[in-house]
């Protein structure tokens, strides 16, 4: 990620999609750190169509998720050698890398008179608090990917089934089945024999896709009236608890953890980037806009919960930031039309 005007040097590639909640985190990081647009390439992987499960993408990220950051290794960026790359396959690792790759002394490309901010906490105490906040919002019980698909009653389920969430599930189902057949064919054609007690890459791909087909089928059946009333009622109950118990509990913890006005105090940190992406997506799911009043759109869904002053201040500060306007405002617009995120 060196600062260079040369068009010949290989660039980092960020695999992303506009409606992926966690893909917006490294994009915020790029803005906050002062990377210029010509230092990296964003390649879109259409997760609404299941492109993240294509065997070609699984070679980059075997988890089948986005974002992924593929970076050239420093020792292979010369013109006389073949460039080699390494991939960072989760949001936390990507942002840690981007933060360390541009130090305060290397400068801020967009504003040369300003140093690039350090987003990682400088103290052990700060690191512990940052990790606690990030881990809190990445817990599966408050995952926006699930909240986007959640339905609390039959009417909401049928409504979502006819709109982008249901449409994306159907497209992903078709893609998974097609990619699974491709992967099985690759196993049949492979001349590589697995080592004893292990699987070849082709065999691992088949196993992974079989598991994804099964998990996607469960939610597809719910959306298409094939799961049965008992499973539907169980699904509705889990969705209700997500909105009225899990999310209020997470907001209460954030209120207690936040130092204010940002997560760790006066300066933006890595914890902020994760939290504001998470919060913005939840607000968008609730029908809110990316403005100061948007946070109130969540209140009718939270079972009587009221936001504390620190969480409200955090939101109000962020909606005014340049990085928020450049990354999260467009993401909110895209999300109105699509319902699957991050390929999970």
- Are the beta carbons of 13 and 41 closer than 8 angstroms? yes
* pLDDT score, position 86: 87
Adjacency order of strands within the sheet including 40-44: 40-44, 12-16, 68-72, 85-88
CA angle, residues 18, 244, 140, in degrees to nearest 5: 50
| Per-residue tokens: 145 | 């990917």
pLDDT in tens, the chain (344 residues): 444 444 556 789 999 998 899 999 999 999 999 998 888 999 999 999 999 999 999 999 999 999 999 998 754 444 544 557 889 999 999 999 999 988 765 554 555 555 689 999 999 999 999 999 999 999 999 999 999 999 999 999 999 999 999 999 999 999 999 999 999 999 998 877 777 778 899 999 999 999 999 999 999 999 999 999 999 999 999 999 999 999 999 999 999 999 999 999 999 999 999 999 999 999 999 999 999 999 999 999 999 999 999 999 999 999 999 999 999 999 887 776 554 444 45
* Rg, Å, the chain Cα set: 21
DSSP, residue by residue, 66-84? S-EEEEE-GGG-STTS---
Q: Angle at which helices 91-101 and 270-285 pack, to 10 degrees?
A: 140
CA angle, residues 220, 200, 174, in degrees to nearest 5: 20
- Are the beta carbons of 148 and 253 closer than 8 angstroms? no
* pLDDT score, position 269: 97
| Per-residue tokens: 210 | 């079989």
């Amino acid at each position: 990620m060196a600062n260079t005007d040369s068009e010949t040097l290989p660039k980092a590639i960020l695999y992303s999609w506009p409606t992926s909640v966690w893909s917006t985190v490294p994009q915020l990081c790029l803005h906050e750190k002062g990377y210029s647009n010509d230092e990296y390439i964003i390649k879109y992987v259409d997760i609404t169509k299941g492109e993240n499960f294509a065997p070609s993408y699984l070679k980059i990220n075997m988890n089948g998720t986005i974002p992924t950051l593929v970076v050239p290794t420093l020792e292979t960026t010369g013109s006389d050698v073949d460039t080699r790359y390494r991939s960072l396959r989760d949001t936390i690792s990507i942002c840690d890398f981007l933060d360390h790759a541009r130090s305060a002394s290397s400068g801020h490309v967009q504003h040369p008179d300003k140093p690039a901010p350090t987003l990682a906490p400088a103290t052990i105490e700060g690191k512990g608090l940052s990790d606690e906040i990030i881990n809190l919002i990445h817990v599966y019980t408050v995952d926006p990917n699930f909240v986007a698909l959640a339905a609390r009653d039959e009417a909401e389920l049928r409504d979502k089934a006819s709109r982008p969430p249901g449409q994306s599930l159907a497209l992903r189902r078709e893609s998974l089945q097609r990619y699974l057949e491709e992967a099985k064919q690759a196993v049949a054609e492979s001349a590589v024999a697995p080592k004893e007690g292990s699987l070849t890459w082709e065999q691992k791909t088949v196993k992974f896709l079989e598991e994804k087909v099964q998990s996607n089928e469960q939610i597809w059946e719910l959306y298409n009236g094939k799961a049965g009333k008992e499973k539907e009622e169980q699904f509705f109950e889990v969705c209700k608890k997500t909105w009225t118990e899990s999310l209020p509990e997470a907001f209460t913890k954030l209120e207690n953890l936040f130092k204010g006005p940002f997560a760790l105090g006066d300066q933006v940190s890595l914890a902020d980037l994760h939290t504001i992406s998470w919060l913005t997506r939840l607000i968008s799911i609730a029908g809110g806009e990316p403005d100061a009043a948007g946070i109130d759109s969540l209140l009718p869904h939270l079972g009587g919960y009221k936001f504390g002053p620190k969480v409200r201040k955090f939101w109000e500060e962020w909606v005014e930031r340049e990085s928020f306007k450049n990354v999260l405002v467009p993401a909110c617009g895209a999300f109105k039309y699509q319902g699957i995120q991050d390929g999970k």
